[in-house]
Amino acid sequence: MCSCAHFFIFYLHRPYLIAVPKMTDYSEHIPFAEKACTFLTGSPDPYHAVENIIARLETAGFTRLSKREPFADKVEPGGTYFYTVNRTTLVAFGVGAKYKPGNGFKIIGGHTDR
């Protein structure tokens, strides 16, 4: 016996059997949704969003850089870093462990709207 519900529809007087799958169990996604809600509630504006993300990055071992100082002697292969601009923009990046000067790089960006 199929676990799907079946019903008939009639289109131009021809019956077609359509299987409707049972409802998906979303319970495994609840913890992620709760974390997202907590983050969004605690981040009502870009300032709070940046501060919340900084806390997570620092917990994960990212190193804070200053936009006012050169990065050249601070950024190393295998490192993870971040800096902010006006407390509303956050730039976080990691350098591959096998990176060598002259190799290419990839950028992924995102933004929030006020």
Cβ atoms 65, 71 nearer than 8 A: yes
The structure tokens 């409707």 sit at 20
pTM score, whole prediction: 0.68
- Give the helix/strand (H/E) hosting 30: helix 30-41
Where are the domains positioned within the chain? 29-103
How do residues 50-108 score in pLDDT, each as one tens digit? 999 999 999 999 999 998 999 888 999 999 999 998 888 899 999 999 988 888 888 88
92: β partners: 82
Computed over its alpha carbons, how large is the radius of gyration of the chain? 24
CA angle 80, 50, 65 (to 5 degrees): 35
